[in-house]
């Protein structure tokens, strides 16, 4: 069942507030759309991993330990490079930190409390 327009706006507000309040946790959850897989990284990483496997096999067949170890290191580096993510939107994104718009930062809960207090004042 798709979300309504109102629910989508609320979800976007919650995500934005999470990124403002705890950017480290938000980034660890992987919801940042600025981070994406890079085709170049994957291709180069796979080629390095294949070269590492070839070096490893050459090292095993010639019984040269250093060549085998070098092949293993190249293979591991290729896999690491292939799984890296490109952070293209991380630098030019929204500013973070206190004083970004000239007003003090408030947490999500405090803003909800303020809205609740305003509603109670309006009802009285």
**pTM tops 0.85:** no
pLDDT of residue 91: 44
Tens digits of residue pLDDT in 52-61: 999 999 999 9
- Could you report the per-residue pLDDT of 79-117, keeping only the tens digit for each? 998 888 765 544 444 444 444 444 455 577 777 788 888
Question: Is residue 67's pLDDT more than 80?
Answer: yes
Q: Quick one: tokens of 36?
A: 């994406």
Number of H helices, E strands in the chain: 5, 2
């Amino acid at each position: 069942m798709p979300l309504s327009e109102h629910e989508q706006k609320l979800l976007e507000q919650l995500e934005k507030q999470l990124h403002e309040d705890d950017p480290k946790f938000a980034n660890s959850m992987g919801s940042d759309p600025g981070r994406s897989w890079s085709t170049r990284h994957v291709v180069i990483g796979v080629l390095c991993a294949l070269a590492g496997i070839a070096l490893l096999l050459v090292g095993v067949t010639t019984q040269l330990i250093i060549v085998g170890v070098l092949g293993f290191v190249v293979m591991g580096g290729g896999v690491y490079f292939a799984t890296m993510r490109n952070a293209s939107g991380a630098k030019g994104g929204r500013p973070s930190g206190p004083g970004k718009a000239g007003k003090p930062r408030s947490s999500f809960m405090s803003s909800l409390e303020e809205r609740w207090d305003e509603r109670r004042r309006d009802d009285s």
